[in-house]
Structure 1
Amino acid sequence: MAFLEIDSLHKTFGANTALHHFDMKIERGEFITFLGPSGCGKTTVLRMIAGFEAPTRGTIRLDGRDVTHLRTRQRKVGMVFQAYALFPNMTVAENIGFGLKVAHRPQSEIKQRVDEMLQLIKLPHLGERYPWQLSGGQQQRVALARALAGKPQVLLLDEPLSALDAKIRISLRQDIRALQRELGITSIFVTHDQEEALSISDRIVVMNEGRVEQIGTPLEIYNYPRTRFVASFVGTLNILSGHVIDPSTGRMAVDGQELRTAQTLPVGDAGKKRMLALRPEAIVLEAPAAGRNTLTATVEEVSFLGAIVRIRTRVKDEVISLDIFNDPNRRLPERGQPVALGFSHENLLVLEEGVQG
């Protein structure tokens, strides 16, 4: 039995369906990220796990206990919000200890736990300051300490870094992941930022329009997207239109040029149009080679991006971009120049047609 089980969770608001049959099993100590655009349902799931929203249908079990209809304070979850939600009239120490005070814990226990949390978030000398005297990153650390002070079984983080500047975001997300590993606490992190999701997660749940598109490790989500939405939402991607020549061998045609995918396709796909995905970094400029796919293209644009040079090419109706590392000793192709684009069979992915369920 998984530590946190979400079974057929469904949520409607009046005539609008915010979540369609969400299913997931989360193991103890996992760091899970819900990733997707605004309005995709990721925060709705988080709020139902926290007890802030009641599901229309479905069940939530935590450590074998049905918590679907329990109040938030009965669930042993800690929540970190996007807007910090600190009490401005309380000191840092008072904010961290607030939940323990509400739970009528002894003052000595509260002080000891607050001191532990201040050490944990690396702000041991700021306990007597007020939130307005702290930076945004410090305030979010305090919010994290408050969520952890009561020793929750699950830590929920609702876009906790979105209000911070880029440099602080990177630093704080690394700290959050380090703390999570140190404490071994099961955590669910909500974000619309693909880089955040890829950099800190054990598994990622990609959501769109209230449905799960794909669940997998960061490597699986990035390298093997199942649907067009996942492929285009996570990272830069070339989407090509191909026709199936031979499903059993993965032979495809793109604008009259034959390619192969490592995937085996259903027999009934012969002659059908399928969408293909190809990452820019998987393509190299090379002469045709045995055992590799090759497309003949024409260079449309060469863009210098620092460490990366992005080359945009065209194959009749298809625009294909490739990324190469900047090498000052390498001669770059010029606009209008014909080139051969090489890539392996494994890097050409056939996408599913839509979302799950």
Structure 2
Amino acid sequence: MPFLEIDDLHKTFGPNVALHRFDMTIEQGEIITFLGPSGCGKTTVLRMIAGFETPTRGTIRLNGRNVTHMRTRDRAVGMVFQAYALFPNMTVAQNIGFGLKVAKRSQKEIDARVSEMLELIKLPQLAARYPWQLSGGQQQRVALARALASKPQVLLLDEPLSALDAKIRVSLREDIRALQRELGITSIFVTHDQEEALSISDRIVVMNDGRVEQIGSPLDIYNFPRTRFVASFVGTLNILAGRVIDPGSGRIAVDGQELVTSRPLPPDDAGKERLLALRPEAIMLEPPSNGRNSLAATVEQISFLGAVVRIRARVSNAVVSLDVFNDPNRILPECGQPVALGFSHDNLLVLDENAR
């Protein structure tokens, strides 16, 4: 039985639909990330799981219990917010132990649990400090410890790193992942940052306009996007338009040049236009060879990005970007030079026809 079940979840605010038929099952110990732009519905789902919002319709089951209309305090969930939400008049230790105090635990039990949490977040020396005496990263660690202190069944993290600078964000997301694995706690992480989602998740739920676009592992989401939105939102992507020549063999023409796709196409696709997706790192500058696709193009721009050199080349009405490592011994083409862009059949993906 799945640990957390979300069935046909729907939410409206007046005439506005914030969430359309959200369905998902989550296993115990998984860390799931809801990824998407602002206003896509990801935080709405999180707030309904937490009990801060009531679904217009649908069911939420946690460990076999229907918690859809249960009070937040009775759901056994912990929540970490973007803005820390620490009590400024309480010390670090008092903040961490606040939920246990509300639950009327003994002072001895509270002290022991607070000490355990301070060790877990590696801040035992800061127990007597107040939030204003801490850095942003330290405050978020305290907020995480407070959420974990009551031993929740599910940990909910609502963009917990977005207020921090880049270096601290990377460090803290690694710590969150390590803690989650150590404790084995089922966790849901909300972010609009694709790098965070790819690095921290067991599975990613990509959302757009209140709908689920795709659910899958980080590798699946990045390498095998099903819709144009997923392909363009996660990573850099080249989108090409092609006309299907032979659906059975996956042959498709782009600017009069024949390519072979990663999979066969439906028989009734013959003659239709389909959108193709191709990642920049999948392309190489190489002459045509058997078993690989090749596109004739003309170099338009070369950009040095440190470890990577990005080359932009024109194929008729489309511009294709490709990335190569910055090797000082590599001879790069010049702007205006004709080149052959080579890539495997497996790297040329056909996006779903009904993708928005």
> Shared fold by TM > 0.5?
yes
* Separation in structure 1 between the aligned mates of residue 314 and residue 288 of structure 2, nearest angstrom: 17
Alignment partner, residue 291 of structure 2 = 291
3-state SS of 2:83 partner? coil
* Separation in structure 1 between the aligned mates of residue 52 and residue 354 of structure 2, nearest angstrom: 30
Residues 178-219 of structure 1 show CA distances to partners (whole Å, capped at 9, x for unaligned) of 000000000000000000000010000000000000000000
Alignment partner, residue 252 of structure 2 = 252
Aligned partners of 1:211 and 1:355 also within 8 Å: no
* Separation in structure 2 between the aligned mates of residue 164 and residue 271 of structure 1, nearest angstrom: 51
2:204 equivalent to 1:201: no
In structure 2, list runs of 5 or more residues that go unmatched: none
* Separation in structure 1 between the aligned mates of residue 269 and residue 40 of structure 2, nearest angstrom: 31
Aligned partners of 1:35 and 1:190 also within 8 Å: yes
* Separation in structure 1 between the aligned mates of residue 329 and residue 107 of structure 2, nearest angstrom: 68
Shift of residue 318, structure 1, vs aligned partner: 1.1
* Separation in structure 2 between the aligned mates of residue 94 and residue 266 of structure 1, nearest angstrom: 62
Shift of residue 310, structure 1, vs aligned partner: 0.3
Shift of residue 262, structure 1, vs aligned partner: 2.0
Aligned pairs (5 A) from 1:218-237: 218-237=218-237
4+ residue runs over 4 A deviation = none
- Output the amino acid matched with 2:88: P
Shift of residue 229, structure 1, vs aligned partner: 0.2
2:13 equivalent to 1:28: no
Alignment partner, residue 311 of structure 1 = 311
Alignment partner, residue 327 of structure 1 = 327
* Separation in structure 2 between the aligned mates of residue 91 and residue 140 of structure 1, nearest angstrom: 14
3-state SS of 1:122 partner? coil
Q: CA RMSD in A?
A: 0.7
3-state SS of 2:189 partner? strand
Aligned partners of 1:205 and 1:214 also within 8 Å: yes
- Output the amino acid matched with 1:268: D
Alignment partner, residue 94 of structure 1 = 94
Alignment partner, residue 106 of structure 2 = 106
Alignment partner, residue 337 of structure 2 = 337
2:117 equivalent to 1:117: yes
Residues 208-258 of structure 1 show CA distances to partners (whole Å, capped at 9, x for unaligned) of 000000000000000000000000000000000111111111000101100
Residues 305-355 of structure 1 show CA distances to partners (whole Å, capped at 9, x for unaligned) of 110000000011111010000110111000000000000000000001345
3-state SS of 1:197 partner? helix
2:270 equivalent to 1:270: yes
Is 173-182 or 240-249 further displaced after alignment?
240-249
Shift of residue 264, structure 1, vs aligned partner: 1.5
3-state SS of 2:173 partner? helix
What is the aligned-residue identity percentage? 81
Aligned partners of 1:212 and 1:355 also within 8 Å: no
3-state SS of 2:226 partner? coil
Give the paired residue count.
Answer: 356
3-state SS of 2:94 partner? helix
3-state SS of 2:48 partner? helix
